[in-house]
């Protein structure tokens, strides 16, 4: 039946049904409408069958597109038609394929494909799965944006165990008379050696379902690692023991005259801060900042100088965040040292001046992740591992305020 035959027959049936309704023959008109519906269904099935047959009779001819392209000078091949597994090793861990494989490894325990594990850049045998480059960059960015101390220190990426020379004495220029020379000065240098300290944090992966988007997974990983490692790194910068973690600023011995003491039965005064400022060498005046806890800073809020002016101020910057200032110098708050007013059992540094650029944090940001089972709780634990070390390379700007215990 052609389409025109179908339309003609349907038109006739519709007219007959209308006449039956006009004559009051409802039952007969209902039967006629059922006949029209059956005609419609039959024509639809016939049309589908005809379309399928036409598709079989018109199989498209394959086109060879290999030689259809136009050569472009200076271009870079991003994909090809051959089926080999060659990989661009420039940044293996930045591909979408690896990012998805990494997500499946963390969530489901699916092994990382061998082509990623056997990459020439992966030389350590038991490193776990390397965090994708894109995620790693966002972790570093979040560490620097959320931390108060990390953005201030100097970053390096030296190989562990390598001795790095540092200058201990700067040459001095001298005035001489005409025709005279000056004494040759040998610039004395020392060395600093960065070791390997392993920073590990357990990452909470508490998704209720394994069906989760890549963006949600990566956002969760970034937040968890940045929060945990950020606190650990900043704590070690302030008071790390130098044994199982980087050596902190407060573990250095200050130069004579650069430690201001507060007697056990006394409280901090305006003169205490003045003495600390006086002890700071002029060469480090522009970069040094105060560092203390918020509770200690609040001790200075109501303190006045000899002219009745408050020595501490809190301003609000362009972004609305408070900017704390003490005697005209920026104050960096932290939670990693004791506060004034708390119980002190031994001599304790409660505030200090320091130029944080003179602290070098040497990090291997190639963070890896491992998954293991806690035998005590039978829980699946995912941990992130990073190698890091840090040291003060110039302690001349360090001035401490120490609360005596007795």
Span 64-112, pLDDT tens digits? 555 555 555 555 554 454 444 444 445 677 778 888 877 777 777 677 7
Q: Could you write out the three-class secondary structure of 73-109?
A: CCCCCCCCCCCCCCCCHHHHHHCHHHHHHHHHHHHHC
Query: Tell me: the pLDDT tens digits for 261-283?
Result: 999 888 888 899 999 999 999 99
pLDDT for res 155:
86
pLDDT for res 289:
97
Mark out the alpha helices in 90-239 (DSSP H runs).
96-108, 114-117, 133-146, 214-239
Query: Tell me: the pLDDT tens digits for 18-44?
Result: 888 888 888 888 898 889 888 888 888
Distances (CA, A) of 18 to 24, 31, 265, 347: 10, 12, 110, 106
pLDDT for res 304:
78
Shortest CA distance to 366 belongs to which of 199, 146, 195, 177?
199
What letter would DSSP give residue 158? P
What letter would DSSP give residue 14? H
Asked if residue 26 lies in contact with residue 63, where contact means CB atoms within 8 angstroms, the answer is: no
pLDDT for res 66:
53
What letter would DSSP give residue 241? B
Helix (H, G, I), strand (E, B) or coil at 255: coil
- The Cα–Cα gap between 147 and 150 comes to 6
Asked if residue 210 lies in contact with residue 312, where contact means CB atoms within 8 angstroms, the answer is: no
- The β-bridge relationship of strands 289-292 and 380-392 is unpaired
What DSSP element (H or E) covers 19? Answer: helix 3-22
Where is average pLDDT lowest: 7-11, 76-80, 316-320, 335-339?
76-80
CA dihedral of 45, 51, 57, 61, whole degrees rounded to 10: -150
Shortest CA distance to 245 belongs to which of 231, 254, 226, 232?
232
What is the edge-to-edge ordering of all strands in the sheet holding 312-316? 259-262, 399-403, 348-354, 289-292, 329-333, 322-326, 312-316
pLDDT for res 209:
45
Chain centroid to Cα 22, Å, comes to: 79
Section 331-338 average pLDDT = 92
| Higher per-residue pLDDT: 345 or 162 | 345
Asked if residue 302 lies in contact with residue 310, where contact means CB atoms within 8 angstroms, the answer is: yes
- The Cα–Cα gap between 371 and 383 comes to 6
pLDDT for res 216:
73
- The Cα–Cα gap between 315 and 378 comes to 51
- The β-bridge relationship of strands 329-333 and 380-392 is unpaired
What DSSP element (H or E) covers 329? Answer: strand 329-333
pLDDT for res 260:
96
Radius of gyration of the chain (CA): 37
φ, ψ of residue 260 in degrees (nearest 5): -100, 125
Asked if residue 255 lies in contact with residue 397, where contact means CB atoms within 8 angstroms, the answer is: no
Domain ranges of the chain: 1-40, 197-403
Q: Which of 32-46, 111-125, 267-281, 353-367 has the highest mean pLDDT?
A: 267-281
- The Cα–Cα gap between 400 and 269 comes to 15
Tokens of 177: 């008379």
């Amino acid at each position: 039946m052609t389409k025109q035959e179908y339309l003609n027959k349907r038109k006739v049936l519709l007219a007959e049904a209308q006449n039956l309704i006009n004559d009051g023959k409802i039952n007969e008109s209902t039967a006629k409408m059922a006949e029209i519906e059956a005609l419609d269904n039959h024509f639809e099935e016939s049309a589908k069958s005809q379309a399928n047959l036409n598709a079989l009779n018109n199989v498209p001819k394959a086109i060879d597109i290999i030689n259809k392209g136009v050569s472009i000078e200076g271009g870079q091949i991003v994909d090809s038609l051959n089926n080999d597994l060659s990989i661009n090793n420039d940044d293996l861990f930045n591909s979408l394929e690896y990012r998805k494989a990494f997500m499946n490894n963390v969530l489901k325990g699916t092994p990382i494909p061998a082509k990623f594990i056997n990459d020439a850049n992966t030389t350590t045998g038991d490193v776990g799965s390397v965090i994708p480059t894109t995620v790693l960059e966002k972790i570093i960015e979040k560490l620097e944006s959320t931390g108060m101390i990390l953005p201030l220190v100097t970053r390096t990426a030296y190989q562990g165990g390598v001795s790095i020379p540092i200058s201990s004495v700067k040459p001095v220029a001298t005035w001489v008379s005409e025709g005279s020379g000056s004494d040759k000065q040998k610039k004395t240098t020392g060395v600093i050696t960065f070791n390997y300290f392993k920073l590990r944090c357990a990452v909470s992966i508490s998704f209720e379902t394994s069906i989760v988007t890549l963006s949600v997974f990566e956002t969760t990983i970034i937040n968890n690692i940045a929060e945990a490692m950020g606190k650990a790194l900043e704590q070690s910068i302030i008071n790390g023991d130098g044994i199982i973690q980087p050596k902190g600023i407060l573990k250095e011995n200050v130069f004579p005259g650069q430690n201001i003491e507060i007697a056990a039965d006394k409280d901090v005064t305006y003169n205490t801060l003045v003495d600390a400022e006086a002890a700071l060498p002029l060469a480090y005046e522009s970069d040094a900042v105060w560092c203390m806890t918020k509770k200690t800073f609040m001790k200075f809020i109501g303190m006045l100088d000899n002219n009745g002016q408050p020595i501490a101020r809190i301003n609000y910057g362009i972004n609305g965040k408070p900017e704390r200032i003490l005697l005209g110098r920026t104050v960096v708050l932290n939670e990693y040292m004791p506060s004034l007013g708390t119980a002190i059992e031994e001599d304790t540094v409660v505030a200090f001046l320091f130029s944080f650029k003179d602290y070098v944090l040497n990090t291997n940001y190639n963070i890896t992740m491992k998954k293991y089972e806690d035998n005590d709780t039978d829980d699946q634990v995912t941990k992130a591992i990073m190698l890091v070390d840090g040291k003060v390379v110039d302690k001349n700007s360090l001035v401490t305020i120490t609360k005596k215990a007795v």
